[in-house]
Amino acid sequence: MSSKKPRYRRKTSLTPRRRRARRLERPEEKRRRARLVFSRLARAYPDARCSLDASTPLELLVATILSAQCTDARVNRVTPLLFSKYKTAADYARAPAGELERDIRQTGFFNSKARSLRLAGAVIAAEHAGRVPDTMEKLLKLPGVGRKTANVILGNAFGKNEGFVVDTHIGRLARRLAFTRETDPRKVENDLTAIVPRAKRTLAAHQLIFHGRQICHARKPLCEACPVEPLCPRIGVA
């Protein structure tokens, strides 16, 4: 009899979640799973909210523009002084050359951001009586405003759940959870709006962002501590 220890093959059977990931999930199944996922995230992150500090639609617009390629925490360190200095859209429009750039320098890409703030401020002052518009169509016409920024403003400043905010965290988690296979933010948004009820989209986005920051990291997700692990196909996780 051979004294060699038997060699065991690595298990190849798929867990239910892996099987879900490898077969085409029907729309109603995906909506049902999404409902369970967000129910668990709601319990895990009861305080999920917009991480940008702002008290008016204009302040939120400015903060969101500044948050591009910058952490929300850094933006929140810059905006208190900024908001005390620039109180209206017209204030941003007529900010002296170089001064606004210095005021937002810490957020990075300050030249392009200052240009967007000046131009957006001018449009808001001239065409909207100084008030940030509250429709997707009008917001998208403002310089420096794309769908992500528009969805942030609509959902958090005006309580309108028209679309779904898609940032780096949300796009990554949506793919990992097999809610989408897309990488283009607009297509990711379409897939998310198809499975998340309109009334819950703003809060659902905050819950995904909180989860991405605290548990579902890009390189080493903490799956053992994940509240939605039983429902997650773990796409892209080794």
Q: Are residues 184 and 152 in the same domain?
A: no
pTM of the model: 0.88
Residues marked as catalytic? 148, 167
Q: What is the pLDDT of residue 5?
A: 41
For residues 65 and 143, state if they share a domain: yes
Cβ atoms of 79 and 63 within 8 Å: the answer is yes
Q: Kindly state whether residues 171 and 109 are assigned to the same domain.
A: no
The encoded tokens of residue 63 equal 């903060």
Same domain, 153 and 213: no
pLDDT value, residue 238: 76
Least reliable range by pLDDT among 20-34, 79-93, 134-148: 20-34
Do 179 and 236 fall within a single domain?
yes
The helix or strand, by DSSP H or E, that contains position 209, with its residue range, turns out to be helix 201-214
**Domain closes at, from 157, 184, 214:** 157
* Residue 134 · residue 160 · CB < 8 Å: yes
Provide the domain count of the chain: 2
**pLDDT tens-digit profile of 62-111?**
999 999 999 999 999 999 999 999 999 999 999 999 999 999 999 999 99
On whether both 113 and 151 belong to a single domain, the answer is yes
CATH of the domain at 105: 1.10.340.30
Residue 34 lies in a domain: no
Q: Name 185's Cβ contacts closer than 8 Å, sequence gap at least 6.
A: 147, 148, 166, 171
Domain membership of residue 9 (yes or no) is no
Q: Are 100 and 114 contacting, i.e. CB atoms less than 8 angstroms apart?
A: yes
Residue 52 belongs to a domain: no
Range of the domain at 226: 164-238
pLDDT tens digits for 148-196?
999 999 999 999 999 999 999 999 999 999 999 999 999 999 999 999 9
pLDDT for the residue numbered 160:
97
Question: How confident is the model at residue 16, as a pLDDT?
Answer: 56
Report the CATH number at residue 199. Answer: 1.10.1670.10
Q: Tell which of 140, 157, 174 closes a domain.
A: 157
